[in-house]
Amino acid sequence: MHPQNRKIYFIKNKILLFSVVLLFINATPIDKNVSKSETTGITLLKFPKTIGNEIFYLKRDFVAFKEAVAFKESQGKYATVNTLGYLGKYQFGRTTLHRFNIYNTEEFLANPELQEKAFVALCKVNKWILRKDIKRSVGKTINGVKITESGILAAAHLSGAGNVKKFLRSNGTERFSDAYGASIQSYLKKFANYNVSNIVANKNAKV
């Protein structure tokens, strides 16, 4: 092909390609109301700035509370016995179990329903023992920790209601930590802001 003809052929092809592109653009409807950010979204993957916590987290009710406590105590394992002899999903001491007329520890470890009932009963008893302290202390801040009802119940499960009373009434100067280093203050913080209003204070709660 003559060089001059080759040049003309090349120019014609370029014009043809440009014409096809123009036809495609004109054939694509454009909504004049679409914002710039929306049009760039065709090529850029965009995520919402905020995503509701409910997508990722359990509702912060009593079920979520007891499961959070259980995970901290035993990773939620019913058959667990720790090195100090505490038992089950919620790591009950034998003395506490005796309060609810539970003496057969092997049966207790093999009975998830009994363990769940025992935890609820203990929460009711602790809520009764600490009823005045809950009323006086919820909403206060002690050692930088906001005091909530669920935090108090969790701390009572850790240390016993009596030690929680001492902590609250001394404004945090009388402290308690278990043999593994877990403290009342850490439980007050970790288990704050769960809704445990369905637990009714009951001195004589049964399993």
- Which distant-in-sequence residues (6+ apart) come within 8 Å of 105 by Cβ? 87, 94, 97
Q: Give the span between the Cα atoms of 169 and 136, in whole angstroms.
A: 9
CB 119 within 8 A of CB 108: no
Predicted confidence (pLDDT) per residue in 31-74, tens digit: 444 444 443 333 344 444 444 444 445 589 999 999 999 999 99
Centre a 10 Å sphere on the Cβ of residue 1 and count the other Cβ atoms it contains: 8
Torsion (CA) 95, 96, 102, 107 in degrees, nearest 10: -90
Q: Give the span between the Cα atoms of 76 and 33, in whole angstroms.
A: 54
CB 125 within 8 A of CB 96: no
Query: Could you give the residue ranges of the DSSP H alpha helices within 28-103?
Result: 36-40, 62-74, 94-99
Distances (CA, A) of 2 to 9, 13, 14: 11, 17, 19
Predicted confidence (pLDDT) per residue in 74-133, tens digit: 999 999 999 999 999 999 999 999 999 999 999 999 999 999 999 999 999 999 999 999
Residue 13 has what pLDDT?
54
The model's pTM is 0.71
- Which distant-in-sequence residues (6+ apart) come within 8 Å of 62 by Cβ? 194, 195, 196, 198, 199
Predicted confidence (pLDDT) per residue in 5-22, tens digit: 455 554 555 555 555 444
The mean pLDDT of the chain is 82
